[in-house]
Amino acid sequence: MPGYRERSGMTTETAEFAGTLETENPLWHFALAFWQQPEVEQSCLALQSRGWSVTRILCACWQASRNRSYPTQEAPEIVRWRNDITATLRTIRHILPKEQYTLAALRDNVAAAELHAEQIELALAFRALSTKGPTEAEHQDLAGLTICNLRQAAPEPMIDRETGILLEQLTRSLRDRLSPTGASKP
């Protein structure tokens, strides 16, 4: 798209850094497994419709599963990638009508590209969370840490009742995933 890079702030340097990432990483594998749990996809998509970033939610839960705090600030390259690439692909996918058969293949390809962009976004987050040396949480149980991390990932500080219920559902899902009754570990 002519002029897109100039308007978006996206530079060749920003786009090229993605080539040096480890896309198959523990955060990505956690995200794939966690997404498969009952209520996780539903809760994440409901939060996304309220302005939340699903990748931030997944990062916050992954950090809690590792007994780590989620940082208050994200690396700028993660935000740029999310805003310039992932969100753009999501917008294009939403514009394409589901009911038009002739656009089905295009819509599927855009959805696949969006998923790959999210994988790159999570790889950026994995690199940032691995190099920053996130602090180990002190004296918090998993539920408390998960809620704290999710609040750090929130797009705004105020959490209404319905959002709180969704955060509690995610917290229960993470607890169930990590329970010693046969669920897998991160």
- Where are the chain's structural domains? 21-178
Residue 70 exposed, middle or buried by CB count within 10 Å (0-12, 13-18, 19+) = buried
User: pTM of the full predicted structure?
Assistant: 0.84
**DSSP character at residue 96:** S
Give the pLDDT confidence score for residue 141 in this predicted structure: 87
Statement: residue 76 has pLDDT above 70: yes
58: Cα within 13 Å, side-chain hemisphere: 28
- Give the pLDDT mean for 86-102: 93
- Give the pLDDT mean for 76-98: 95
Give the pLDDT confidence score for residue 127 in this predicted structure: 94
CA 37, 125, 14 angle in degrees (round to 5)?
135
